[in-house]
Amino acid sequence: MNIILTPREKEIFHLLVKNYSTKDIARKLNISEKTVRNHISNVIQKLGVKSRIQAVFELIRLKELQL
């Protein structure tokens, strides 16, 4: 499976792995919480999974994300 994440999607998931909340990510990146949720939803759809945590596990498995 060849998943291409945008730089912003990668940035958001790196922060999720570091235990940042949606609100914290939005503040840190100076974007709205809705935009953060939209990026997360887009990645979930790209991966064909049902949750953030499944997306994180899949991105790690695909070596798109590291802990």
The model's pLDDT over 13-48, given as tens digits with 9 standing for 90+, comes to 999 999 999 999 999 999 999 999 999 999 999 999
Task: Tell me the whole-structure pTM to 2 decimals.
Answer: 0.92
Residue 15's contacts (CB-CB under 8 Å, 6 or more residues apart) are 24, 25, 28, 29
C-alpha closest to that of 8 among 48, 30, 39: 39
Q: What is the CA radius of gyration of the chain?
A: 11
- Residue spans of the domains in the chain: they are 7-61
C-alpha 16/C-alpha 12 separation (Å) is 6
Fold of 7-61: Arc Repressor Mutant, subunit A (1.10.10)
CA-to-CA dists, residue 65 to 26, 30, 32, 56, angstroms: 20, 22, 23, 8
